[in-house]
């Protein structure tokens, strides 16, 4: 039966990048927040930044990045931090050998008796439809490009333990609150596909804590990842992070006792707001837990390629 890893390892962090993050200061800048039609989140700035040619390959057995890669990432961050300083405030760089085009940054939080990981991942992959190419890519290097769009994802992840090695953080052990999101498989031979309930759990958790009738697609405030409940963030400043973290803490306390019932209710049918378990739990959610999402607004529009995009506005209550 497929298993999803619930450990996040910090194999390497870089002092030059961390110093650069600290020098960003406490300023804030204005930019808009969006989703594209395949549910990817991005920021739009009032001026472009450039991404140089980055290496495509890295041996996942090597826990440290190449020196040249770090230098190139510094070049990118030197442009991004001034136009979005609050996005990078209070964060530490974390190298992921399997995701060199998605550099990661983190901050470990403690709330009451629990620990949480805030994980920010940038996505620097070249996208022909929205990025202006400067130099063509090759089998070993990405294309260099210019863009005013930064694709990323950010979430709070509940932790069971934070392990250290030689005095520095080495491993985040995720607090697994969901037994298994794998249900079955369909197809035969090379066409076999797994059936998972991650998306249905995401809809269940989010709809449960959103105001009745609130439509927020493609944004879901609570998502199923790492076999647990994570909080999806779109306002990335440190003050908003601190403001929203207690709501994830309370949501976890609310859901833990009934998680087996929720999982069981979704393993035989897709999520629906008429789900009996959902309706029963919805009636018991304290109103303030839903009211914080009252200001959330999404506006659909067509971009320059006539593709759907969504502009999202939210002021944390």
With a cut of 60, say whether residue 188 has pLDDT above it. Answer: no
Total-model pTM: 0.93
Mean pLDDT for 127-149 is: 95
Residues contacting 22, CB < 8 A, separation 6+: none
Helix extents (H) in 23-160: 67-83, 85-88
- Backbone phi, psi, residue 26, to 5°: -110, 15
Mean pLDDT for 213-230 is: 95
What local confidence, expressed as pLDDT, does residue 1 receive? 34
What local confidence, expressed as pLDDT, does residue 72 receive? 98
Q: What is the pLDDT of residues 279-297, one digit of tens each?
A: 999 999 999 999 999 999 9
What local confidence, expressed as pLDDT, does residue 183 receive? 55
What local confidence, expressed as pLDDT, does residue 196 receive? 67
Q: Closest by alpha carbon to 178, among 229, 246, 115, 222?
A: 229
Mean pLDDT for 98-107 is: 96
Mean pLDDT for 57-79 is: 96
- Which secondary structure element, helix H or strand E, spans residue 195, and what is its range? strand 193-196
> Are the beta carbons of 44 and 79 closer than 8 angstroms?
no
């Amino acid at each position: 039966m497929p298993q999803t890893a619930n450990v996040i390892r910090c194999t390497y962090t870089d002092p030059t990048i961390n110093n650069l993050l600290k020098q960003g200061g406490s300023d804030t800048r204005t930019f808009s927040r969006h989703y594209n039609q395949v549910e990817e989140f991005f920021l739009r700035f009032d001026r472009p930044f450039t991404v140089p040619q980055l290496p495509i390959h890295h041996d996942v057995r090597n826990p440290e990045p190449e020196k040249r890669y770090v230098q190139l990432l510094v070049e990118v961050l030197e442009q991004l931090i001034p136009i979005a300083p609050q996005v990078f405030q209070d964060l530490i760089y974390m190298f992921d050998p399997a995701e060199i085009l998605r550099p990661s940054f983190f901050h470990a939080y403690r709330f009451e008796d629990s620990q949480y990981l805030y994980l920010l991942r940038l996505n620097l992959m070249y996208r022909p439809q929205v990025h202006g190419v400067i130099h063509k890519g090759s089998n070993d290097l990405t294309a260099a490009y210019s863009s005013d769009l930064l694709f990323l994802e950010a979430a709070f992840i509940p932790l069971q333990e934070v392990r250290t090695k030689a005095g520095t953080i080495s491993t985040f052990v995720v607090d697994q609150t969901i037994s298994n999101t794998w249900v079955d498989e369909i197809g035969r031979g090379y066409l076999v596909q797994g059936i998972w309930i991650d998306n249905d759990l995401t809809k269940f958790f989010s709809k449960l804590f959103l105001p009745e009738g609130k439509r927020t697609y493609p944004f879901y405030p609570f998502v199923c990842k790492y076999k647990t409940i994570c909080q999806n963030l779109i306002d990335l400043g440190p003050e908003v992070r601190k403001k929203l973290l207690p709501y994830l803490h309370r949501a976890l306390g609310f859901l833990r006792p009934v998680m087996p019932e929720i999982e069981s209710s979704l393993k035989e049918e897709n999520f629906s707001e008429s789900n009996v378990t959902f309706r029963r739990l919805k009636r018991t959610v304290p109103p303030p837990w839903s009211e914080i999402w009252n200001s959330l607004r999404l506006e659909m529009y067509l971009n320059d390629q006539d593709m759907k995009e969504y502009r999202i506005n939210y002021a944390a209550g």
